[in-house]
């Protein structure tokens, strides 16, 4: 595939422009996994598909933290997103995926006049909604690891993967059992591409890790309104909630939807990653997203 043009860069972060003549839609991915999940390949690229549908997609590729980002926390990344948004004079649709939705929400609260709408896809909010014990267990594990992470200056990828495994201990076994039974070449290709992406993770700065594990997972500080109050968001907002999400349980995302004044909910009968790249993603997630964005232009 042709590489999208980088139109702005700051530290490890690049703003990628996929072209198009329609309304601008800036996608903000998570800090934990690589941004190219939104542009996985020719068959599984929500960004290239949206361009064909008459939108102008942009992708903020955070990259891996380097020297410029070592001291970054989530507020630092929010400020970087705001500087990326400032590259455009016309209003933007801001689309956040997973933790990228939390960062997008914080940026939207500070720059609502620069946005046409806000979309939050599989974005966590209430970390104690469905499995408080798992959230507390993850925070406790990080507390044990913290001295070693401090020496390394980051929360490394392998430990992040361990935390995800704690949320769904049987998940890896189940997916590889499904893989063993696959006969369709496209399904096999998709599985391998997705596994390559999953194993191409990004470490977290300690500032981000502390906020996520101690403030969010342990204290559930988002629900307490300690970081951002969703009630200040006056933008038309779409919250897309995957019903089969093991990473962000539906009740966690539902809590955010309930707190947003102008929110439209969309339940998606897929998983956290499946809503982006599965066979049924176009029908259940891509098409409703494109239709909604066009209605807000």
Nearest to 239 by CA among 208, 265, 270, 268: 265
Q: Please state the domain count of the chain.
A: 2
**Residue 180 confidence (pLDDT):** 66
Same domain for 124 and 136, yes or no, is: no
Residue 216 domain-assigned? no
- What single DSSP character describes residue 194? H
Query: And the tokens for 167?
Result: 């949320």
Q: Both 106 and 249 in a single domain?
A: yes
Integer Cα distance of 77 and 37 in angstroms? 19
Where in the sequence is the domain holding 56, given as residue range(s)?
5-130+227-295
Q: Do residues 158 and 244 both lie within one domain?
A: no
pLDDT reported for residue 183: 74
Residues 81 and 148 in one domain: no
Low-confidence ranges of the chain (pLDDT < 70): 169-176, 179-180, 182, 184-189, 192
CA-closest candidate to residue 148, choices 159, 139, 138, 140 = 159
Tens of pLDDT, residue by residue over 90-121, are 999 999 999 999 999 999 999 999 999 999 99
- According to the 3-state scheme, what is the secondary structure of 58-77? EEEECCCCCHHHCCCCHHHH
Task: Report the b/e string of 182-191 with b at 16+ CB within 10 A.
Answer: eeeeeeeebe
Does residue 212 lie in a domain region? no
**One domain, residues 158 and 266:** no
Residue 26's beta-bridge partner residues? 58, 94
The pLDDT, as a whole number, for residue 35 is 96
Model pTM? 0.94
Rounded to an integer, what distance in angstroms lies between the CA atom of residue 201 and that of residue 155?
11
- Looking at the structure, do residues 148 and 288 belong to the same domain, yes or no? no
The answer on 34 and 163 residing in a single domain is no
- What is the reported pLDDT for 198? 78
Give yes or no: residues 119 and 147 share one domain.
Answer: no
Q: Do 282 and 49 meet the contact criterion of CB atoms below 8 Å apart?
A: yes
Residue 124 sits in the same domain as residue 137:
no
Query: Residue 64 CB: number of other CB atoms within 10 A?
Result: 14
């Amino acid at each position: 595939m042709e590489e999208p043009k980088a139109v702005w860069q700051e530290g490890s972060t690049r703003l990628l422009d996929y072209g198009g003549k329609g309304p601008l839609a800036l996608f903000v991915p998570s800090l934990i996994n690589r941004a190219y999940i939104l542009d996985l390949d020719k068959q599984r690229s929500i960004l290239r598909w949206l361009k064909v549908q008459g939108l102008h997609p942009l992708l903020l590729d955070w990259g891996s933290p380097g020297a410029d980002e070592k001291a970054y926390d989530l507020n630092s990344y929010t400020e970087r997103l705001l500087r990326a948004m400032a590259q455009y004079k016309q209003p933007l649709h801001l689309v956040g995926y997973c933790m990228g939705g939390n960062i997008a929400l914080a940026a939207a609260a500070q720059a609502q006049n620069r946005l046409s709408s806000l979309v939050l896809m599989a974005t966590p909010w209430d970390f104690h909604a469905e499995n408080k014990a798992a959230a507390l267990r993850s925070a406790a594990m990080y507390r044990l690891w913290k001295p070693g992470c401090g020496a390394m200056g980051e929360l490394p990828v392998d430990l992040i993967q361990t935390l995800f495994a704690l949320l769904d201990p049987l998940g890896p076994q189940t997916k590889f059992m499904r893989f063993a039974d696959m006969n369709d070449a496209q399904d096999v290709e998709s599985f391998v591409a997705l596994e390559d992406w999953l194993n191409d993770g990004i470490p977290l700065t300690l500032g981000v890790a502390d906020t996520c594990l101690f403030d969010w997972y342990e204290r559930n500080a988002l629900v307490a309104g300690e970081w951002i109050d969703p009630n200040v968001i006056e933008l038309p907002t779409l919250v897309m909630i995957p019903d089969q999400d093991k990473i962000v349980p539906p009740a966690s995302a539902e809590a955010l939807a309930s707190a947003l004044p102008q929110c439209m909910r969309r339940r998606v009968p897929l998983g956290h990653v499946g809503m982006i790249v599965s066979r049924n993603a176009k029908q259940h997630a891509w098409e409703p997203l494109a239709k909604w964005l066009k209605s807000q232009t």
